Amino acid sequence: MTYRIDCLQYCNWSEDIFRQMREGGLDAVHVTISYHENFRETVLNVEQWNRWFEQHPDLIMKGRWASDVKLAHDTGRTAIFFGFQNPSPIEDDIGLVEVWHDLGARFMQLTYNNQSLLATGCYEDEDPGLTRMGKQVIREMNRVGLVVDMSHSADRSTIEAADHSERPIAITHANPFDWHAARRNKPDDVIRAVVQNGGMMGFSIYPHHLAGGSDCTLKGFCQMIADTAERYGVQHFGIGSDLCQNQPDSVVEWMRVGRWTKEIDYGEGSAANPGFPKQPYWFHTNADFPRLEEGLKEVGFNAREIADIMGDNWFRFFEKNFVPSDG
């Protein structure tokens, strides 16, 4: 059995999008339920998802374990796995790591662009690496089965996280820096540190992460995947599209600014184009997910390799890393 898994989205969720997930054959999607929200605010987002699960039980279901991907596949639904793009939901309380795992969270980024209590974000000028609390939180995340995600973290912090973690970590949504020199993309030493420790990286289709931006071609994207897989091994890679479908431009401002500044931080955008960039023509919605398989085939991947990249690698990662370390 093979699966289709997208390991990062933050769409403006609706029944239409849930139906597009089914049209695209998505068995599982990792969704962001926090950018800058604190514990209580993130609980409200869980409540909203619980209502969607209740309203659309024929389309989506809550995902907790890898077995839920199989259940979703067998019942024609999409399993939704929760994740944070910032450690703000644990505030300054390490005990909330286990609480959040109990509530269904399965990924937590140690930073979102800025310095956090745990590590350094990719937009800071200096990167001193993991903090004392960061090392303790990683140990607790390892224990309960909450995956360390370093997608928005700086390079030294990411390498230290990969080395310090006793379980594999993830970069759920990014691309190689040597393909496109965005600050959010990852250089060779970072990717190597993650994969050598058994970790995973999801290729991003967010235009600011693509060579050529919105004009990036499907063949160009898939050739990048082929080159990366040849360098590091296909078993370490999947898709983390970073799809932000139907979100208003005010949301990207929230992502970048939160409550930490009174100024507009354009981040990966620019003052001339502050909103969401236009998606490439070949990936507008979840219904386009199967087009990636066509592109991967065109650049020379065989059927087994395509299945691995489209979801099976993530499935195996889920099997090993969502469960507590003692069971």
pLDDT for res 273: 65
How much is the pLDDT for 275? 85
Span 132-157, pLDDT tens digits: 999 999 999 999 999 999 999 999 99
Q: Which residue has the tokens 């386009």?
A: 288
Residue range 188-213: mean pLDDT, rounded: 97
80-107: pLDDT as tens digits: 999 999 999 999 999 999 999 999 999 9
pLDDT band at 70 (very low <50, low <70, confident <90, very high): very high
Whole-number mean pLDDT of the chain?
A: 96
Structure tokens at 242: 């970073």
Report whether 83 contacts 106 (CB < 8 A): yes
Q: Is the pLDDT of residue 269 over 80?
A: no
Between the ranges 187-196, 270-279, 318-327, where is the mean pLDDT highest? Answer: 187-196
What's the one-letter identity of residue 183?
A: R
Question: Where residue 19 falls among pLDDT bands split at 50, 70, 90?
Answer: very high
Q: What is the mean pLDDT of residues 194-218?
A: 97
Q: Determine the pLDDT at residue 1.
A: 82
For the stretch 238-264, pLDDT in tens is 999 999 999 999 898 888 899 999 988
pLDDT (mean) for 54-68: 98
Tokens of 217: 């071609």
Residue 42: pLDDT over 70: yes
pLDDT at res. 190:
98
Secondary structure of the chain in HEC code, one letter for each residue: CCCCEEEEECCCCCHHHHHHHHHCCCCEEEEEEECCCCHHHHHHHHHHHHHHHHHCCCCEEECCCHHHHHHHHHHCCEEEEEEECCCHHHCCCCCHHHHHHHHCEEEEECCCCCCCCCCCECCCCCCCCCCHHHHHHHHHHHHHCCEEECCCECHHHHHHHHHHCCCCCEEEEECECCCCCCCCCECHHHHHHHHHCCCEEEECCCHHHCCCHHHCCHHHHHHHHHHHHHHHCHHHEEECCCECCCCCHHHHHHHHHCCCCCCCCCCCCECCECCCCCCCCCCCCHHHHHHHHHHHHHCCCCHHHHHHHHHHHHHHHHHHHCCCCCC
Q: Quick one: tokens of 136? A: 């303790």
* Closest CA relative to residue 146, chosen from 98, 185, 90: 98
Q: Is the pLDDT of residue 289 over 80?
A: yes
* Lowest mean pLDDT, pick from 31-45, 61-75, 267-281, 298-312: 267-281
Residue 186, strand partner residues? 176
The superfamily in CATH containing domain 5-321 is Metal-dependent hydrolases (3.20.20.140)
Q: Do β-strands 78-84 and 200-203 pair in parallel, antiparallel, or remain unpaired?
A: unpaired
Between strands 28-34 and 78-84, the pairing is: parallel
Structure tokens given for 3: 């699966």
On whether the CB atoms of residues 197 and 162 are closer than 8 A, the answer is yes
